[in-house]
Amino acid sequence: GSLLHLGASFYCLLVISLIHILSSIHFRWEEERSTDGSKWKFLEHKGPVLAPPYEPLPGHVRFFYDGKLLRLSAPAEEVATFFAKMLDHEYTTKEMFRKNFYKDWRKEMTSEEKSKITDINKCNFTEMSEYFKAQSEARKQMSKDEKLKIKEENERILQEYGFCVMDNHKERIGNFRIEPPGLFRGRGDHPKMGMLKRRIRPEDIIINCSKDSKHPKPPQGTRWKEVRHDNKVTWLVSWTENIQGSIKYIMLNPSSRIKGEKDWQKYETARRLKKCVDRLRAQYREDWKSKEMRVRQRAVALYFIDKLALRAGNEKEEGETADTVGCCSLRVEHIKLYPKMDDQEYVVEFDFLGKDSIRYYNKMPVEKRVFKNLQLFLENKQPEDDLFDRLNTSILNKHLQELMDGLTAKVFRTYNASITLQQQLKELTTDESIPAKILSYNRANRAVAILCNHQRAAPKTFEKSMQNLQTKIDEKQKQLWATRKQKAVQRIEEQLMKLQMQATDREENKQIALGTSKLNYLDPRISVAWVKKWDVPMEKIYNKTQREKFAWAIDMAEEDYEF
């Protein structure tokens, strides 16, 4: 059913495309797509760039165990260097990191090494660490010529391996290098931190390309695990990593047709949600009164997802990853209920670790009915029990699918982000200078980032860089006072104003990360339309990479575009 619908929506898009074709402009994202689920007809590439082989340390770099010199076998030495390279990092002081590292390291040791090395705390990696620091220092000190040579070599590799041909187009590949071996660094309190991420060999690698293409060849004397020709998927290369046992892929760059089209489709789904969101909201409010606990939980969860832009919250395997949650996996310990708080009633306090162990903290007054439901859900539960014990993402998404074709929990995030940007832009933009307009744009973007909880650690240099900017402003101010000529005054006033806008922007952005929402949540056509309407140069809003990624939108949207 849904496949047919997808076909139908593509058909609509095709009609739009046809109009473009008729007007004799023909872009690649408007080419006809198949309806049988195949993603391409022809795919040719050179395969991945493998990690360089291990180069043993020079003899003068020593490793000491319990104060005594110990020569390590190459495999054991390699793993030791991974640790040594991270010695300055806080990770290496964590008990879990050291324990996991030590356990995996032992697996690489000879039996003699195993018997000698019995306590990680007696290992002295400092000479190795110093050596790598010196190396990186030497790299910085290289002559212009040497640096240029490296640059040219990188460029050559990029030209050879960084592109593929998919159907009729040469496309940029996203990540064409196989991840090198090293120590796994999870985010947050990860139970597997420090484990050895092993080296990927050609024999681990699956190649995907079309039958009639020139197949990538494995390095001399090796073979690929498999060469397959599956045009129902978009990846070129895959392998299984050993930490979680999950599959990693080499895929195309966001500028590619295949990614751009998917992106476009995502925003079209969010726009369809816009058309029926009132109905859905009325529906879940009704469901708060349902006789069925399951339905009430579903409705309250959906309210959170809609109102707070929470993620769906899939279940995670305990002990395999950091303990983080989303909406459906919230536990009793993650919320607190306050019948009264200051001058507000029915306040819910959220405090939990979300994706990437980023803390979500928020206090929100809710409607009485939601509050009462939450009290009900909490009855007779322990802190570690699920808040929504009758609900998971699969149940929720099945329900959403019935309400609107293609609707899943994450569409709400996209929808709410994009509609917020559009509203905020309307509200904030005034017909002033370009810097003032850009400040408005960034403020609108910021409203979305706050909604989506896209935080960042305040940059270490924040205070200093703020001071520098203030110094510049003060100097400009003095310069202005010292200037008499009318024309010069005007120019300096403009410069001053620009600096002030910049300062405001930077200050407000201290702990906010705009990039993620800009790249993943905001329909780029809203921004394109805004730029056209207010005569702001596109480059002020989107850098080169972003313009490439959003090429489809830049081509498509006019100043009257409505999300």
Total residues belonging to the chain: 563
The token duo for 222 is 């090796």
**Cα distances (angstroms) measured from residue 497 to each of 432, 472, 480, 491, 535:** 11, 12, 11, 10, 19
End-to-end CA distance of the chain: 27
- CB nearer to DNA: pick between 155 and 367: 155
Q: Which is nearer to DNA, 123 or 411 (CB)?
A: 411
Q: What are residue 359's phi and psi, to 5 degrees?
A: -75, 135
| Pick 218 or 406: Cβ nearer DNA | 406
Task: Decide whether 186 or 216 has the Cβ nearer to DNA.
Answer: 186
Q: Please state, in angstroms and as integers, the Cα–Cα distance from residue 229 to each residue in 175, 223, 257, 469, following that order.
A: 20, 17, 20, 56
Catalytic annotation, pick one of 91, 360, 521, 542? 521
CB of 163 to DNA, least distance (A): 12
> Which of 454, 483, 77, 525 minimizes the C-alpha distance to 267?
525
Tokens standing for residue 223 = 């073979």
Q: Specify the pairing of strand 169-172 against strand 206-208.
A: unpaired
Minimum distance of DNA from residue 2's CB (angstroms): 7
Nearest approach, Cβ of 418 to DNA (angstroms)? 11
Smallest gap, in angstroms, from Cβ of residue 383 to DNA?
A: 20
Say if residues 558 and 532 touch (Cβ distance below 8 Å). yes
The CB-of-344 to DNA minimum distance in angstroms stands at 28
346 is catalytic: no
Question: Of 230 and 345, which CB lies nearer to DNA in the complex structure?
Answer: 230
What's the rounded Cα separation, in Å, for the pair 258 and 374?
43
Closest CA to 553 of 277, 276, 268: 268
Burial class (CB in 10 A: 0-12, 13-18, 19+), 452: buried
Strand segments, DSSP code E, in 344-467 are 344-353, 359-365
Residues 6+ apart with CB under 8 A from 334: 325, 350, 351, 352, 387
Which of 199/369 has CB closer to DNA? 199
Residue 427 CB, nearest approach to DNA (Å):
23
CA dist 270 and 263 (Å) reads 11
In the complex, the smallest distance separating the C-beta of residue 471 from DNA, rounded to whole angstroms, is: 8
Angle at 446 between CA 440 and CA 449, to 5 degrees: 155
Please count the other Cβ atoms lying within 10 Å of the Cβ belonging to residue 306.
19
H/E element, 250: strand 247-250
If the CB atoms of residues 2 and 486 are measured against DNA, the closer one turns out to be 2
Active-site amino acid positions: 521
